[in-house]
Every structure is written in C-alpha cells, then in structure tokens.
A and B are shown apart, each in its own frame.
Chain A
Amino acid sequence: MAGLPVLLAPRPAEAQEPGSAAEVLDAIDEQEADVARRLRALSEAVPAARAFAGSLLADQERHREERRSIRRRLGLPPGAAPPAEGSDLRSLGALRSAQEALVHAHAEGLPALGDSWAVDRLARHMVELARHLAVIDLWIEAEESRG
C-alpha cells in the first residue's frame, strides 16, 4: 500500500516522478525561460500587460538568483543556458500552459531536493508562481467575458 497516498494525491494525472536535484533545477530553468519569452512578447503586443509582465519577470530574476544559491549549497554545477525556442509567443493560452508547467516543475521537484532549506526556498517560489498562474487565469476569464 506504499503507493496509496500518491494515487490519492490531488494533482494532475500527468505529474512526473521527480529525478535528481540537478534535473529539477535544469527543468525549472528551461520552463522559466519559456515563460519569460512569452511575457516579453505579450508585453510588446499588449501595452496594458507591461506592468504585470514586468512584475513577474522581476520575481523570476530573484528566483534565478536564489536557485544559484541552492545549486551552490547542494554542490551542483551552474545550469546551462536554456534553449531559445517557442511558438505562439503572444498567445495567452500558451502563456498559461507554460506557467502551469513551471508551477508543476516546482511541485514535482520538491521531493528530489533532499534538503529542507532548499525545499523551503523552492516552495516559496512555487507560491509566487502559482499566484501568477491564478492571475493569468483571471486575465483569461476577463478576456472571455468581454467576448
């Protein structure tokens, strides 16, 4: 019955078993870069989104710096530069999907860290990113209600 809690957990069916701490941090770097590209593209296309995008990008910058500290603490090498690719950059729906993937990368990664300080830091990042995701959801709902 050791797997029972995982089966009962209120999380998406596609959630992955976490790998090593290095893999977790690499995946977060990559997913965060994808979200950042989309935020920049949207803020260019939608001036009203600039303040929101700027706030999220500033949070991401702080998170990146703290992840560097986590890597140092865990004795991991610096992360590689994430690939610069992505399609549909100005799509709000695609931004939402990318942000959700970033949140899930954090949630799924926590068990792989093996260090309570690192778990605390990444969990606090996850809280901020989940809030960003909720704001994007509200943005999408507002757009839909406007038709």
Chain B
Amino acid sequence: MAEGGPARRRREVVVALARGAGVAAPVLGLLEGGRTAALPAGEETDMAVLQAAVALEHQAIALYDAGLGRGLFPAGLRVYAVEFRGDHLGHRDTQVAIVEERGGRAPEARRDYLFGPLGSGEQLLRQAVEIEGAAQQAYTTLISQIRSRDYLLSAAFILVDEVRHLTVWRRVLGLRIY
C-alpha cells in the first residue's frame, strides 16, 4: 500500500535529520524504506545500528546543550530539558561502550548541527519534537534488526525513554498525545 502524505513527510524528516546527524548509508536506506526493508542479520548490522544510534544521540545532546546554554527553555520546562539531556548522555555512553566492547569505534559528535531557527522557546520545542520524533522512529524501525539479546534489551529501554521525551514536548506544544 502506498504511504500517505503525512507518513511520507515524517519519514523524509527522519531521514534528513539522520543524514544531518551523520548516520551512514545502510541504515539510512532502511529508514528510507520503512519496515519492509531489512539488513542482513549479524554482528555487522548490530554495529551499523549502534553507529546510527550514537550519531542520533549526539545530535539530541547538541540540541539540549544549545537550548539550555542560551536559556531558551521556559523556566518550568528546564527540569524536563535537563532530565532528557541526561537520558541522552546515558544512551550515548551505553551504546559507545557496546561499540567499543565489540572492537568498533563510535562516531564522534559533529562540530555543527544544522538545526532550524532557535530564536524562541517555541522554535526550540518544535525542533525538540522533530529530533525526539526522529529518534523514536529510528529506534522503532531499527530495533527488529538487532540480533544480540543484550543490545536488544538496552535498545528497548532507550526507546521507552525516547517516547517519554516526545510525549512531553508534544503535550507542551498542545499536540495530540493519545
């Protein structure tokens, strides 16, 4: 069945953000293709998913750093921003450790990320919804490709965190949450 306009638009946003975060080609192809695509099973696929996930975590941390550093989060929402930034740091460190344990090298954070305009709290929150939504969609798409039990378990709990982040920001912006 052909994908509708809003779903296609969401996928395009996810792919654009993943590309901007530095996600590499095999995983980008999977994100572009949605659930019908598949990567070959094995350790290499786990490593590709890990590399993509670390890149997305770097991007999310950079957004929270920018928002907190410029004082853009409204006072009542800073506590969420600090909590979510901490979650992303934990996700990054967990997955970097898994990459290194398996003899790989995790991607570094980029020096610059091309976020949209961040001149106001609302612009920042809209960007946070895009970044968190992309992370949620990416983990949801990729999780069934993971082959090792320990990483699959970790990724599941990371995904639960991403859902919470997105739900809170959508609620703040008055968007539908159920």
Contacts and interface: CB of A to CB of B under 8 A. Distances in A.
Interface in B27-71: 35, 38, 41
A27 interface: no
A113 to B, nearest CB: 9
Given A5-B151, A8-B97, A134 B168 contact: yes
A1 B101 contact: yes
A116 interface: yes
B153 A111 contact: yes
Interface stretch (A40-48, A66-74, A75-83, A124-132): A124-132
A8 B163 contact: no
A116 B38 contact: yes
Nearest to B152: A111
Contacts of A108: 153, 156
Interface in B128-166: 136, 140, 143-145, 149-154, 156-161, 163-164, 166
B94 A107 contact: no
Interface residues of A, number: 38
A9 B160 contact: no
Interface string A43-56: 00000000010011
Given A123-B143, A130-B159, A10 B167 contact: no
Nearest to A9: B154
Nearest to B86: A10
Interface string B107-131: 0000000000000000000000000
Nearest to B91: A10
Contacts of A52: 178
A5 B93 CA distance: 10
15 contacts: A4-B101, A5-B150, A5-B151, A8-B154, A10-B87, A11-B156, A18-B153, A107-B157, A117-B144, A119-B143, A127-B140, A131-B166, A131-B167, A134-B163, A134-B164
Interface of A: 1-6, 8-12, 15, 18, 52, 55-56, 103, 106-108, 110-111, 116-117, 119-120, 123-124, 126-127, 130-135, 137-138
